[in-house]
Amino acid sequence: MDSLINCARCGSDACYVDEVNMDIKTYFCYGCGFQTNSLMKEGEDFYNEQTENLPELYKDLLFTDEEGKTWFPSAVNVPEQGMVFANGPSGREWGWAAVKAIELQEGDKRIREDQTHKMDMNSLKMYAERDFMDALSYIEVLPE
């Protein structure tokens, strides 16, 4: 059953919980932009697999809550609208980067045959840590 709870990382009341099955729940906080699930606990195979491939900034930003779940920044990619991701030189100096998608032009390289858009890095706009929803609004995933 889906529900909203207070986020264990930031305290926001905009943390969406999805019960995948009786053993697994996913958590996505629109307040801080971090996510986790029931398997993201140190020592778990899933945790090790996920953290092994994270960029260094994301590793710096890992947060473990009182239940032992490890939270990490989200990366939202909506191919026709844009992308939001954590960006910065370190866990002390970072923010949310948002870029808009633009239609591919004749001659643009395609990653997939059905690709119609690409991310326009010229549209990059930075947002403070607590402005995740504003970044989503910039790429029109949420209303302004």
Looking at residue 143, its pLDDT comes to: 82
- The lowest-confidence range among 28-37, 45-54, 67-76, 107-116 is 107-116
Region 88-111: what's the mean pLDDT?
89
| pTM of the complete model beyond 0.85 | yes
Looking at residue 114, its pLDDT comes to: 80
From 19, 21, 139, select the one nearest 83 (Cα to Cα). Answer: 139
User: Residue 2 — pLDDT band, cuts 50, 70, 90?
Assistant: confident
Q: Is the pLDDT of residue 1 over 70?
A: no
SS3 51: helix
Per-domain residue ranges of the chain: 3-73, 76-138
Return contacts of 84-93, CB within 8 angstroms, 24+ apart.
84/33, 84/132, 84/135, 84/136, 84/138, 84/139, 84/141, 86/33, 86/57, 86/58, 86/61, 87/57, 87/126, 88/57, 89/57, 90/57, 90/60, 91/57, 91/60, 91/61
* DSSP notation for 61-115: T-EE-TTSBEEEE--EEETTTEEEEEEEEETTEEEEEEEEEEEPPTT---SSTT-
Average pLDDT taken over every residue of the chain = 93
From 52, 18, 57, 60, select the one nearest 35 (Cα to Cα). Answer: 18
Region 38-55: what's the mean pLDDT?
92
